[in-house]
Structure 1
Amino acid sequence: MYDDEKNLYHYTYRKDGSETATQPGQSYDARGTQPDPVPVMTPEAPKKKKHTAGKVAALALVCALLGGAVGGGVVYGAGRMNADTTEVSVSGRLPEAVNVHQVDGKTKMTDAEVYAANVNSVVSINVTGTSGTNFFGQKVQTASSGSGFILTKDGFIVTNYHVVKDAEQVKVTLYNGDEYEARYVGGDEDYDIAVIKVEAADLPTVTLGDSGSLNVGDRVLAIGNPLGELTFSMSGGMVSSVNRTINVSGTPFNMIQTDASINPGNSGGPLVNQYGEVVGIVSAKYSGTGSEAVEGLGFAIPINDVFAMIEDIMTNGYVTNKPYLGVSAGTMTEQMAAQYRYDISSGVFIYSVEEGYAAEKAGLQMGDVITKVDDHAITSLEDLTAVKKQYSAGDTVTLTVYRGGETITVELTWDAVPAEEKADSDTPTSGSGRDDSQYGGYMNPYDLFDYFFRQFR
C-alpha cells in the first residue's frame, strides 16, 4: 500500500501502513516484524589460531568481488544493448485534409467527405410540450429530441411527425451552434413526416437523391442526434433491404432497411448515399421483443415516397392529395363472421358510410367487406391503409367487396382528405397522435374505439 505524507510516496510492508523507525541494534525480518532481542554476551579474549583459515576466507572474498564485478558488467552491457536497440516507431504521416465537395450526384465521396458535405445542413431538434394527464388530472410535461435536415435556404426543415407531435415549443440547433425557435408548418401521421420552419436566410441545404435507385448492399450513412446528447454523430452501414413493409403502432410503412446504427434521437435525420444525396428520412429502429434482443435493424422512409407530400405541406400546411374513402371501418374477424353469419372472416368491415364522399359515390354500404383493392389482397385495416398510400386523390381503383353472401366489384375514385379531417389528424397538439402512453389507462374507451374505426377513412 501507499502512504502519502508530505507529498511523498513510501512503500511499506506493514499491514497497517505505518512505518516504525529502527533503533540502533535492532532490525526487521522479511515479514516486517521485530525479532526477539538478542542477548548481549561479554566477549572473551580471542585465542590465537593459525592464519590458514583467514587466508582462505580472504581468497574467497576476492573471488566473490571479482565475480560480482564481472557479472555486473555483463548485466550493465546487456542493459545498454537493449536501450540502444529497443525503439518505438512513430509515424510522421500528416493528417489528410477532407475535401468539401458540392453534391452533384456524380462525385462518389469518402465517408468523411459525405459528412463534411452534409453536416451543416443537419439540425438537432429539441421539443417541449405536454402529453395527457397524470393520476391527479395534471398535464404531464414532456421533453424529447430528434433530428432534421434543411431543405430550403429560407428555413424549411424536414423531420418525422412523431418528433414534433404534441409540441408546444420547438428549438433547432445548427452545427455551427446557431439556435432558432421553429414553428410547425404541417405534417402527416400516416406517413410520419413533418415540416417545421425557422426564420433565417442563406442556410446550407441538402441535396435529395433517388431512393428508387438503391440496391441491397449499397453503403448509406445516417447523421443525427442520437440520445439527444451526441449531436451531429454519423453512423454507417449498408442497405439491408428495400421496399420493406413494417408495422409501426398499427400503421404499415414502406421502408429502407439498414444496419447503420440508429438510436432514439436519430429520428428525422437524413439517410445519405455515397454521393452525398439524401435518400431517406431515418424513422424507426427495431429493438426486439421480450427476451430477444436484435441489432442492426434500422429503417428510413424512402424520400421518393414522400417528397411530393413534403412540397404539399410546405405550400398548403397539409397533404391535400391524400386519398380519402369516407367510411367507418374495422378489421373483419372470425367472431364477427359468426355473429353476422358471413362466409368470410377477413377483410375490412364497413360500419358506416359518410354522405358525399368516395365510398357513397361508389355505392358501398354498411355491412360490406372490402377484400381487394385492384390486385392487392385486403385482410385487415392495416392492409387497406398500406394500399391507400400507393394512391392519390383522384385515382380510380377497383374494389372487390363481399355483400350478402356474394362477391361483387365496384369502381371507386379516391376523394381528398377534407380540411376538417386534416385539422383533426395532422395537428401535433390535437392529441390524436399514436402515442402509446395515451393508452396506458387514461384514454376514454369510446375515444379508443373512435380512434381505431374512424381514422382509417
Structure 2
Amino acid sequence: MIKRTIYISIILLSMMVIIKADMNPNQIYKQALNYTVELKCSKSNSDTVYATAVLIDLKGYYVTNAHVVTQSINGNNYDFEIFEIRYYYEKEYQRVTLEKYDTKTDLAILKGLPQKKSFKVNLEYQTADRVYAIGNLNETGIAITSGIISNKEVIIKSKNTIFKVIQTDLTISYGNSGGALVNSKGQLIGIISFRNKDNKGNVIYGLAYCIPINDVMIYLE
C-alpha cells in the first residue's frame, strides 16, 4: 500500500512539474519580445516591405525569410538595399546588414549589434502541440496569435521548390513573415514562412507553414 501511494505521488508530482513548466500566453509574449523584432526592407524607387526577424545568435545574427529581403520583378529576384530592425521599446530603427539568403529554404540571415538577450530553442515538437506566432502582424507591431501544430511535417511544392515545413492552424497575416513559432514553454521551435493558395490563387486562411528551427540552425552554420 505504501509503495502504491509513493508511486501515485511520483506520478502526480511529475504532472505538476509538467504543468508548471508551461507558460501562459502573456509570459510567452513578454519573453518573445526579447528576441523578436520588426523588420523594414527598402530600396530607392521601390516599395518598402515590413516583416519580422528573430534573434538567433547573441553575436547579433537575426533570421528572417528570403522572400522578405528580396523583391520579385518579372520572375527575377532583386535584393533590397536597406535593412532595419526595431525592438518593441525603440522608436527608431537600427541598420543591419544582409549576410546571406537562400530562396530554396526561404531563409535569410541579417547581422546587427551583439545582444544580451535570452532565448531558448527546442528541436522537438509533436502534432497537436499548442504553439504561438509572434510577429509584426499587419505592420502594427509585435503581436501574438495562438493555435496548434496540425501536422508536424508536411511537404509543400511551390515554383519547383520543395519545402519540408511545420503545418499549423495559426492566424498570420502580412508582416508575420520571419516571425517566431514558439511552444507552450516559450521555446523557439520554428520560423513563420508562408500561407498557401488554392487553385484559383486565393490565400487559404487557417493554415500557416513554418520552417523547423533545426533547419534554421543548419543554415546558420
Measured against the shorter chain, the TM-score band is: 0.7 to 0.9
Matches within 5 A, 1:28-107: 107=21
Structure 2: distance between partners of 1:259 and 1:303: 18
- Residue 292 of structure 1 deviates from its aligned partner by 6.3
8 Å Cα contact 1:150-1:203 kept in structure 2 = no
Partner of 1:188: 102
8 Å Cα contact 2:196-2:203 kept in structure 1 = no
Name the one with the larger strand percent. 2
Decide which of 156, 174, 183 is 1:273's aligned counterpart: 183
Q: Are 2:71 and 1:153 equivalent residues in the alignment?
A: no
Offset from partner CA, 1:134-164 (integer Å, 9 cap, x none): xxxxxx5121111011122332111111111
Query: Gaps spanning 5+ residues in structure 2: where?
Result: 1-19, 71-78
Decide which of 149, 152, 167 is 2:80's aligned counterpart: 167
Structure 2: distance between partners of 1:305 and 1:169: 26
> CA 1:168/1:292 → structure 2, altered by over 3 Å: closer, same or farther?
closer
Partner of 2:8: none
Question: How big is the alpha-carbon RMSD for the aligned residues of Structure 1 and Structure 2?
Answer: 1.9
Structure 2: distance between partners of 1:279 and 1:292: 28
Runs of 4+ in 1 over 3 A off after TM superposition: 291-294
Structure 2: distance between partners of 1:259 and 1:163: 22
The count of aligned residue pairs is 193
Q: Are 2:46 and 1:141 equivalent residues in the alignment?
A: yes
Structure 2 counterpart of 1:151, which letter?
I
Higher relative contact order (CA 8 A, sep 6+): 2
Partner of 1:441: none
Structure 2 counterpart of 1:221, which letter?
Y
Structure 2 counterpart of 1:214, which letter?
Y
Give me the TM-score of the superposition, normalised by structure 2: 0.81
Identity of aligned residues (%): 30
Structure 2: distance between partners of 1:167 and 1:208: 29
Structure 2: distance between partners of 1:192 and 1:276: 24
Structure 2: distance between partners of 1:203 and 1:162: 28
Query: Gaps spanning 5+ residues in structure 1: where?
Result: 1-105, 131-139, 313-457
8 Å Cα contact 2:41-2:50 kept in structure 1 = yes
Q: Are 2:125 and 1:222 equivalent residues in the alignment?
A: no
Give me the TM-score of the superposition, normalised by structure 1: 0.40
8 Å Cα contact 1:129-1:141 kept in structure 2 = yes
- Residue 203 of structure 1 deviates from its aligned partner by 3.7
8 Å Cα contact 1:150-1:205 kept in structure 2 = no
Offset from partner CA, 1:391-448 (integer Å, 9 cap, x none): xxxxxxxxxxxxxxxxxxxxxxxxxxxxxxxxxxxxxxxxxxxxxxxxxxxxxxxxxx
Matches within 5 A, 1:414-425: none
Q: Are 2:196 and 1:286 equivalent residues in the alignment?
A: yes
Structure 2: distance between partners of 1:258 and 1:180: 32
8 Å Cα contact 1:187-1:195 kept in structure 2 = yes
